[in-house]
Amino acid sequence: MNRRNFMQTAALAGAAPALAQQKEGALAPGFTPVEQPNVIWLFSDQHRAQAIASNGDPNVSTPNMDRMAVDGVTFSNAISGFPLCCPFRGSLLTGLYAHKCVPGHQYPLPKGQPTLAQPFKEAGYHTAWFGKWHLGGWQESQGRAAHYIMPQDMRGGFDTWVGYENNNSQWDCWVHGGQGKEAFHYRLPGYETDELTNLFIKHLKERAEAKKAGKRQPFFAALSVQPPHDPYQAPEEYMHRYRAGALELRPNVPRSAAIELQARRELCGYYAMVDNWDHNIGRIRKALDDLGMAFETHVIHLSDHGDMLGSHGQFRKMNPYEESIRIPFQISGEQPRYQQRAVGHNDVFINTPDIAPTTLGLCGIRKPDWMQGQDLSGWRRLDRPRPAKPDSAYLQTVIPTGHGYSVNKPYRGVVTADGWKYACFEGISYVMYNLNEDPYEQVNVAHNNRYAAERKKLIARVRQWAADTGDKFTFPDN
């Protein structure tokens, strides 16, 4: 018996006793408790989908993400429907659109709002969160968020929670957790991504030890790291790999001396951070392999939004451009023979509220009625129902973001399966692009009468999205 077959057999044999005690009422039709795998999120901040080698970026080295593109499925149309940290995280954890949950920057997760931790726990799972949270509502004017202690009832219902509200200082990262006499708050001894990965791998080892002791419990665990969010700095060995003058800029970075200088300088650190994150993804996957859990764990790699990095002369996020809204979304993990899994790239839209239902679906857990998103797990697990492809994805910023680097005005928009993008401000069109002909969005036809018929259809579609999700907005008539 080869090593992989041995690991698969051992994983299945060790899983049966504990899994048989799970609550069958939470399972989707056709699933039995013994089939339930683990699932993890590997979740970075401000990593645009374009900045992966296998997605065509000529500058960055991402061998572990590239491996996930080979042994997993990549959703090429993964969208950050509200490309800003707090609203994305609220939607990610609840399966709700931002206007129903966390409508803006530094808004808290509503008290009493359930997250995907609850349905996982009801199905017998252990749940854990490590790293950046940013759902406590802490305001910058109140002091440094890294030192804010998140109240127990604001931690999303996770069994294990080791995190921080916000940081933006990768070499000075503080984490806290526990409660009462077991509460802790301390400074990580090194670079944030490396140290949080250390904690995450330690947690995986604890789950493996419980399994060896005959107390195997399936788990959901999330690792949320701040890089490649600005400030753009990484450990020295990674910074040395990138040179500003040698980088190939995207075609939509304007040839302005000031914009290009800033873009090249920031991209050096940005790529170094992505490179370091990729290394740590490799560490986690090796740990799963070494611990005998690779065949029973789905690995989901994602980010909360992208980063403009000079495209269209803008920086950071918030706007509806491709560099801001397109995110990595890969579902990988070793493939047991009893679970047939799709691989390669697909063009299925997956928007932020769809991620929680899809994660639950990978484990055969029914989507709670309160989640608005769609379970798209059938596009990875071929033994799951495969839903129809969404015809579009909804874009929004609900309230002014307050950020100075990009658009600071509420908008609504849509990206369609036939290659159109449209966004509008209250009562007036903002941008409209034919992405098939203009993938770098350099020809805005939002006010060209030649495209009036197509614009009318797009306005109708985004208006329908608003109605379907309970959103309120004043749309242009045509």
Tens digits of residue pLDDT in 152-198: 999 999 999 999 999 999 999 999 999 999 999 999 999 999 999 99
Average pLDDT, the chain: 91
Place of tokens 């993804």: 281
pLDDT of residue 176: 97
Element (H, E) at 176: strand 174-177
Contact 377, 393 (CB under 8 A): no
DSSP state of 161: E
pLDDT of residue 204: 98
- Measured between alpha carbons, how far is 136 from 106 in angstroms, rounded to an integer? 7
**Cα dihedral across residues 197, 107, 327, 259: positive or negative:** negative
Residue 185 φ/ψ, nearest 5 degrees: -155, 115
Element (H, E) at 287: helix 257-290
- Strand order of the sheet with strand 411-416? 392-397, 411-416, 420-425, 428-434
CATH topology of domain 3-391: Alkaline Phosphatase, subunit A (3.40.720)
Domain-wise residue ranges, the chain: 3-391, 410-469
End-to-end, the C-alpha distance of the chain in Å comes to 66
**Cα dihedral across residues 93, 98, 100, 106: positive or negative:** positive
pLDDT of residue 203: 98
- Give counts: helices (H), strands (E), the chain: 10, 14
Mapped onto helix, strand or coil, the DSSP state of residue 30 is coil
**Angle at which helices 63-71 and 257-290 cross, to 10°:** 60
What is the β-pairing status of strands 344-351 and 126-132? unpaired
Report the chain's C-alpha Rg in angstroms: 22
pLDDT of residue 140: 81
Contact 433, 416 (CB under 8 A): no
pLDDT of residue 336: 63
DSSP state of 109: P
Low-confidence ranges of the chain (pLDDT < 70): 1-35, 335-339
Tens digits of residue pLDDT in 368-378: 999 999 999 99
Q: Which amino acid is present at 442? A: Q
Contact 101, 110 (CB under 8 A): yes
- Measured between alpha carbons, how far is 26 from 297 in angstroms, rounded to an integer? 19
Residue 240 exposed, middle or buried by CB count within 10 Å (0-12, 13-18, 19+): exposed
pLDDT of residue 139: 87
Query: DSSP letters along 50-94, please?
Result: TSSGGGT-SS---HHHHHHHHHSEEEEEEE-SS-SHHHHHHHHHH
DSSP state of 72: S
Mapped onto helix, strand or coil, the DSSP state of residue 355 is helix
pLDDT of residue 384: 83
